Amino acid sequence: MIVSRKKLLEKQGSKCAYCGRSITLRTMHRDHVIPIRRYKGVRYSFSGRHGCVNPGAHNADNIVAACKDCNMSKGALDVETWRASLRWLPLGKPIIFHFEKYKL
C-alpha cells in the first residue's frame, strides 16, 4: 500500500495533523495515528509475522502528514498516551490535535 505524499499533504491543507503547523513535501513526515510498532531491526515489512505488531493499522486511513517535531515526539505511542505525555505543556487547556479539530 502506497500513500502519495503529495495527496496526503493536499488532503490536510499542507498542515501537520497534530499541531497544525504549515509543512511542505520536503519537511513532512508520514505517521501512523494508530502505531504499527515495527520489530527491532525491521525497516519496511508490515506483515504481522516478521514485520510489526498491529499490521492491520497499516492502511491509508491511518496515515497522516506530520511535522518532524510532532512525529519524533509521538514516536510509537498511540494518540491518547502521547496526549497524556504532553500535559506538562503550559497551555492551560486540553490538548486538541489539528486533525480532531478539523475532522481530517
Q: Pinpoint the alpha helices (H) of 1-102.
A: 5-11, 68-74, 79-85, 98-101
* Residue 78: domain span: 5-101
- Listed range (3-7, 39-43, 58-62, 65-69) with the worst mean pLDDT: 39-43
The domain total for the chain is 1
pLDDT at 87 over 60: yes
Give me the DSSP letters along 63-92.
EEEE-HHHHHHHTT--HHHHHHHTTTSTTS
pTM score of the predicted model: 0.76
| The pLDDT value given to residue 48 | 47
Average pLDDT of the segment spanning 54-81: 86
Q: What is the CATH number of the domain that holds 57?
A: 1.10.30
- Between CA 73 and CA 77, with CA 74 as vertex, the angle to 5 degrees is 140
